[in-house]
Amino acid sequence: MHMHKFEKIWLIFGVAMLIVFLTVIGVSAFYLGNQPPSCLATIDPVKVDTTAPFNEPGLKKVEGKEWDYELVFVASAFSYSPGAVEVPLGAKVKIIATTKDVIHGFEVAGTNINMMLEPGYISEHITTFDKTGEYLILCNEYCGVGHHMMTSKIEVVE
Ligand SMILES: [Cu+2]
């Protein structure tokens, strides 16, 4: 069978791209552990204030886990609790957050932390803050008239 030279090049290019994409997805999923959220962690949104760990928002040291601290946030229109929190530099922190009312965002500006907080679900993210400074947390899901005032901050200190 005769194949035109350009057709061959195009076929090789296509197959090579397919292999590249599958490799990227494979490494991301199986080596780096990037998985879609399971949505298995649920909570009764009207009982957030009395359900652990959301009854005590803030930073807590934990023992015997993969991470050193748990940082609990509760979002509600139009604020986060806590309104500001100090995190030690270099600590591995698991951020655990939920909302009491409507959908809110949880974006830590200047990082790749960006979660959607949905009523009834718990959003989690494990991270390490490697640089000292102030990190602004903001809501990037429009939630009502006070949306633009909805902020908190993480202060990374030595
Ligand atoms: Cu909001």
Tens-digit pLDDT profile for residues 17-27 = 999 999 999 99
Copy the structure tokens of residue 131. Answer: 């640089």
Provide the token pair at 133.
């400074």
- pLDDT exceeds cutoff 80 at 75: yes
User: Do residues 127 and 49 lie in contact, with contact meaning Cβ atoms separated by under 8 Å?
Assistant: no
Q: Are 116 and 105 in contact (CB under 8 A)?
A: yes
CA of 132 from ligand 1 middle (Å) equals 26
Q: What is the mean pLDDT of residues 43-62?
A: 89
pLDDT at position 103 is 94
Q: How many angstroms does the Cα of residue 117 sit away from the middle of ligand 1?
A: 9
* Centroid of ligand 1 to alpha carbon of 78 (angstroms): 6
- Compute the distance between CA of residue 25 and CA of residue 12 in angstroms, rounded to an integer: 20
pTM greater than the 0.85 cutoff: no
Centre of ligand 1 to C-alpha 141, Å, is 6
Cα 74 to ligand 1 centre (Å): 11
What average pLDDT does the segment 50-58 reach?
Answer: 89
Centre of ligand 1 from the C-alpha of residue 104, in Å: 4
Answer yes or no: is pLDDT of 39 > 70.
no
Q: What percent of the chain has pLDDT over 90?
A: 77
Task: With a cut of 80, say whether residue 31 has pLDDT above it.
Answer: yes
Cα–Cα distance for residue pair 7/12, rounded to 1 Å? 9
Give the HSE-up count for residue 101: Cα atoms under 13 Å, Cβ half-sphere.
10
pLDDT score, position 34:
84
Q: What is the dihedral of CA 38, 125, 34, 130, to 10 degrees?
A: 180
pLDDT over threshold 70, residue 37: no
Residue 38 pLDDT level (bands cut at 50, 70, 90): low
Say what the pLDDT of residue 142 is: 94
Q: Considering just the CA atoms, what is the radius of gyration of the chain in Å?
A: 21
The C-alpha atoms of residue 119 and residue 103 are separated, in whole angstroms, by 6
Q: Which structure tokens are listed for 18?
A: 């397919």
Partnered with residue 123 across adjacent β-strands are 97
Under DSSP, the state recorded for 40 is: -
- Please tell me the distance between residue 114's alpha carbon and the centre of ligand 1 in angstroms: 13
CB 58 within 8 A of CB 72: yes
Residue 150 alpha carbon to ligand 1 centre in Å: 6
User: How would residue 152 be classed by pLDDT, with cut points 50, 70 and 90?
Assistant: very high
Distance, CA of 108 to CA of 110 (rounded, Å): 6
User: How many CA atoms does the CB half-sphere of 36 hold within 13 Å?
Assistant: 2
- The whole-number average pLDDT for the span 118-146 is 93
Distance 108 CA to ligand 1 centre (A): 13
- pLDDT at residue 2 tops 90: no
